[in-house]
Structure 1
């Protein structure tokens, strides 16, 4: 400090240049350290995938859901987006009042996806016929619809378990005009029993109602 003080008296510009050089040096060192710590986009993507991906070489966890109404586009978006983000594979067969969702993955992935299907998505939102009046309350005709919907779980977990290998290589939505066409989509992958289980349950449920 004394040297700088002496130099400041003799040559102020010299001291200023010295201080600026020191500050610039520290700035470059700081930026270099940050750059070394910062992951590239590809490295960040790999790290994110590594965190999500689970080892399914020994067993693949499978879950089968049945959704009564899949007409709300936001519900489809949430299911597809979350399945892709969780790196899950499977098939969503869209057929009238029996929409079957089959997803494959690891146990952690399945837990997160199950929470989405059974808790986070409000399946009754946007259902056909469920319209409120301008006051925000349901009119007389709406109450009958609401009463009927109250008996509907919206989404049911039909089965979950493990298999030796995946039947699908990605998540896919398939519009199925007939029950036979829907079943065929699963039969192509030798997993038609997933459809049979869900569809038979829907038939029994309709008979009970």
Structure 2
């Protein structure tokens, strides 16, 4: 058999040293006595001199509490500006390890921290705090108390006088511009043919570039496309669907027309159905039976003996019934007839429906409109057809601009190009003389001597016709323009000043 391992030293059956209960108790007593002696040696003597503690046989190891205390002393010394040598901080001998005793000892050994200026920790906080802004602190320190600031005497009086002078200057400029237009200084200019230059930047690009031009379009850093404040986002904006212009002008399919025989057949079938329903109601007692319909042809057969006895009375009765039926028929037709208000409402609805299908514009040029009848026809028909536009009276030429639906425009074209006799002229009546008293001489049908003007060369031509998106005028009206400048200004308000140059170029 292999040999067994020997027992540890001093143990086992052959061991010569055995621990006894008495030896263990003695070792514990010695340790307790040494601990009490160390505690009493730590306390100060009664005469004010500190007693020298007995030196232990062996140096006790440094505890964790003592190491933390030494580190705290080093940090405090560093704050005061002192240099602490780590080697000089010798750990104190090991004290008691009981919880109550150790706590009391820490409280008694805690050093008192001297008062120090607040600037040093603030600097450390400024360096360590990431949310500290020195600019804000500087502004806070430099802010002083508010002081009263009084306005100088006459400050607002000077401002008011400057504003009044500016208003007078603008008024003078407007008067000079109006006088220049009336004098016809800009009559021969080519402003009507000039095309306006394009803008520096389009309105849809104003939110993408910071400037009011395209100079920075090549710099990707300045173009707001991928930035947070860009108007371009990941969301898709779907515009509303609009009807196509040609869909608004679709001709409604009317029902198929019937021949005369088919219409009579339908009428007989409808009347027969109504008669059967009426007879059924009479049989059920819901309606009273109608009186016999007596006519001249069936008078003797219906009335019988009464007609033979007194034919004159029967004839008068038949004639009264015939007249009553005729009056009932006329009354029913009048009840179905529309009133004046309903007719106007129906006409306005039809005109609005015609305008919704599409708007058109026509421009007519007339040499002279001195005859009052022509002016009345132009004005009255434009109002009746619910057209918008303007009639410009000028010594050189007259312009008529109209806007409206297709039906109304076609009606007005026939009036202007075919129905009106433009060579016609006649002296004014007494009522017309009173109305034309304030008109200029070139707008009267007679000359200074009272003779009727010759209109044999007067004519009307269509210089423009086309479809438009929206109306340029809100209502129908007319204006007398002494000069070409005033006529251009009137058309310029509707952005149609080029029509005057077009009319002058067409002879």
TM-score clears 0.5: yes
Task: Tell me if 1:82 matches 2:82.
Answer: no
TM-score by length of 2: 0.32
Quick check: 1:67–1:97 contact (8 Å CA) kept in 2? no
**Structure 1: gaps of 5 or more residues:** 130-141
- Count of paired positions: 185
Structure 2 partner of 1:160: 465
Quick check: 1:57–1:165 contact (8 Å CA) kept in 2? no
Describe the shift of the 1:87–1:118 C-alpha distance in structure 2 as closer, same or farther (beyond 3 A): same
Quick check: 1:7–1:14 contact (8 Å CA) kept in 2? no
Q: 1:55-70, aligned counterparts within 5 Å?
A: 55-57=354-356, 59-70=358-369
**Displacement, 1:93?**
0.7
**Displacement, 1:96?**
0.8
Q: Which moved more, 1:189-198 or 1:91-100?
A: 189-198
**Displacement, 1:87?**
1.7
Of residues 316, 323, 338 in structure 2, which corresponds to 1:39? 338
**Displacement, 1:27?**
4.5
Structure 1 partner of 2:496: 191
Structure 1 partner of 2:420: 121
Describe the shift of the 1:120–1:9 C-alpha distance in structure 2 as closer, same or farther (beyond 3 A): closer
Q: Distance in 2 between matches of 1:96 and 1:105?
A: 28
Q: Deviations over 1:38-93 (max 9, x none)?
A: 22222233344455555333531001111111111111111112212222111001
Q: Deviations over 1:110-164 (max 9, x none)?
A: 22222222222222322768xxxxxxxxxxxx9xx89xx6xx5622211111111
Structure 1 partner of 2:371: 72
Structure 2 partner of 1:95: 394
Task: Answer 1 or 2: which has greater helix percent.
Answer: 1
Describe the shift of the 1:117–1:13 C-alpha distance in structure 2 as closer, same or farther (beyond 3 A): closer
Give the 3-state SS of the residue equivalent to 1:55 in structure 2.
helix
Larger radius of gyration: 2
Quick check: 1:53–1:86 contact (8 Å CA) kept in 2? no
Quick check: 2:354–2:406 contact (8 Å CA) kept in 1? no
**Displacement, 1:95?**
0.9
Give the 3-state SS of the residue equivalent to 2:400 in structure 1.
strand
Give the 3-state SS of the residue equivalent to 2:304 in structure 1.
helix
TM-score by length of 1: 0.70
Of residues 484, 491, 495 in structure 2, which corresponds to 1:179? 484
Task: Answer 1 or 2: which has greater strand percent.
Answer: 1
| Greater RCO structure (CA 8 Å; 6+ sep) | 1
Describe the shift of the 1:18–1:167 C-alpha distance in structure 2 as closer, same or farther (beyond 3 A): same
Q: Distance in 1 between matches of 2:310 and 2:394?
A: 86
Structure 1 partner of 2:406: 107
**Displacement, 1:11?**
8.2
Quick check: 1:64–1:100 contact (8 Å CA) kept in 2? yes
Q: Distance in 2 between matches of 1:163 and 1:15?
A: 72
**Structure 2: gaps of 5 or more residues:** 1-299, 426-444, 448-452
Q: Distance in 1 between matches of 2:418 and 2:317?
A: 63
Q: Which moved more, 1:93-102 or 1:108-117?
A: 108-117
Structure 1 partner of 2:171: none
Q: Distance in 2 between matches of 1:38 and 1:67?
A: 41
Q: Distance in 2 between matches of 1:98 and 1:2?
A: 80
Describe the shift of the 1:29–1:61 C-alpha distance in structure 2 as closer, same or farther (beyond 3 A): same
**Displacement, 1:21?**
7.1
Quick check: 2:361–2:465 contact (8 Å CA) kept in 1? yes
Of residues 13, 29, 33 in structure 1, which corresponds to 2:328? 29
**Displacement, 1:165?**
0.8
